A and B are shown apart, each in its own frame.
Chain A
Amino acid sequence: EDKVVQSPLSLVVHEGDTVTLNCSYEVTNFRSLLWYKQEKKAPTFLFMLTSSGIEKKSGRLSSILDKKELFSILNITATQTGDSAVYLCAVANTGNQFYFGTGTSLTVIP
């Protein structure tokens, strides 16, 4: 059975802290891994990773994929209150199906 597991389920940090969110997967015919941010509405796209060891970076957010160990991490440095959200990890297979984890809820306290 294809599955995506995220940890931790929730996280509370203070502004300025650095956080690491984890995503492990077991998906047949892997094509790509994606990260999304969800506030009180639809998920919005952050990153898509297809190759191992190549870091994707956008401002204070970065992500890397390890296809041998079947996991990815999402790092957020110098967190701000606007980073508070649920972060979703998804894995796409070659049939263009997307499997989502249950998400990590991040709360950043001022």
Chain B
Amino acid sequence: DAGITQSPRHKVTETGTPVTLRCHQTENHRYMYWYRQDPGHGLRLIHYSYGVKDTDKGEVSDGYSVSRSKTEDFLLTLESATSSQTSVYFCAISRDRAQVAFGSGTRLTVV
């Protein structure tokens, strides 16, 4: 998966608890992204980063925050998980003017 590792692969959590998903890359790519994928909605961008400490919101950022303290790591945090955040989360990376490559995904269930 293009040197991208997501952890955990699966997680079940309770409503109201904080959750952090981790994405680690070994490609030294500048751009990193978090997407969620839901039936009928396709892949929707949550947040993205264009460098260390440089992040921006995507189209569905409410309820999510991110941090990028190192080039290789991009963390996605759900401050207080809700059932509507049950989804498959994909991390992706890209270098300038290239395609985006995806990690294997994290399946998150909020009960």
Contact = CB atoms under 8 A, between A and B. Distances in A.
Interface of A: 31-32, 34, 41-45, 48, 88, 90, 92, 96-103
A100 B43 CA distance: 6
Contact of A98 (B45, B97, B103, B104): B45
B42 A97 contact: no
Contact of B45 (A88, A99, A103): A99
26 contacts: A31-B97, A34-B100, A41-B104, A41-B105, A42-B105, A43-B43, A43-B102, A48-B99, A88-B43, A90-B43, A92-B100, A96-B50, A96-B94, A96-B96, A97-B45, A97-B58, A98-B33, A98-B45, A98-B92, A98-B100, A100-B42, A100-B43, A100-B44, A102-B40, A102-B41, A102-B42
